[in-house]
Amino acid sequence: MRRIFAVLAVGTVLALSACQSLPAGVDGDLVNSWQSVPEPQGFRPVAGECYASSSPDLTHNKPMPCTSSHSVEVSYVGDLPASAAAAPSPPGDNSPAISAAYKSCYGPTNTYLGAEWHSGLVELTVTVPDAAAWGGGAHWFRCDVRATTSIYMGDDEVKTVSQSLKGVLASRGAFSLQCVTWTENGDFVNHIAPSTCKRFNGEFVGFAEVGPQAFPKPSAVEKLFSDACSAKVARYLGVTFANYTNQTVGWLWMSPVEESWNSGDHSVRCFAASYTTSHFFTASVKGIGNKNAKG
């Protein structure tokens, strides 16, 4: 009974109000000048933002000034294709959507850094919204660049910086990759690290890449990358592979890392390797052709 009485009481008050005269300038329409409530907009990152980590949880990992200590900088933001956006959850590693997004990052990231990103001490990864943001309609992908302290058979160590990485590869400075040294163990290399170009084991010549596929077994890596890297070394020397007879310069590639591979990076860095008596170069081998390397 109380519920019925309350409803009737409200109706009575409204009826009485309608019979009263309104003050001058009042039309009685309570909502005609109200602005409609806009549709909620999810957060969308933009190129140039910096973050403490690559986590997509933007509640706890918010943008920060690039002059603050950070490990991630956004080089590009794009939209996933409609086929991926229609899925109930974000695409996972090694999915076609992530591989396509990763490739879409290449051009803008190279422009952002000032040179091919593989030629720098940097790592490129793709970040997509977390499940909560995805459910709210966020279907962007973010190209994240991270500075690295060293190269350890492709397992880059993330470096925190307090500066923007925009344009850092335009000049061959501290973030550029050129000369490296390594520790040899028979036919294998245990460690690769950036070095001055005065006495070094190898020189960066480019990268080789294959199309989307499952992470290769160790026995398949040579078949995938040896020919491509050797051809790049030949071009770096200034000869064709068919005319490559330089016995003091070989080639070496960094083994791919499964985590990076599954995120879309199906490439390896290639190096001209010293086959001099000392196993060191003491000058660049670029353009030497089939002449003996200095070392």
User: How far lies 60's CA from each of 43, 53, 55, 242, in Å?
Assistant: 13, 10, 9, 56
Assess contact for 269 and 253: CB atoms under 8 A. Answer: yes
pLDDT tens for each residue of 3-18: 322 222 233 333 333 3
pLDDT band for position 152 (cuts 50, 70, 90):
low
In the predicted model, what is the mean pLDDT of the chain? 84
Task: Report the distance separating Cα 121 and Cα 176, nearest Å.
Answer: 6
- What's the pLDDT score for residue 6? 26
What confidence tens digit (pLDDT) does each residue in 120-129 have? 999 999 999 9
At residue 109, the pLDDT reads: 98
Q: What percent of the chain has pLDDT over 70?
A: 84
What is the band of 144 on the pLDDT scale with cuts at 50, 70, 90? very high
Report the candidate in 140, 51, 125 with the shortest Cα–Cα distance to residue 90. 140
- Span 174-200, mean pLDDT? 87
Using CA atoms, how far apart are residues 113 and 64, in angstroms rounded to an integer? 19
Q: What is the mean pLDDT of residues 146-160?
A: 72
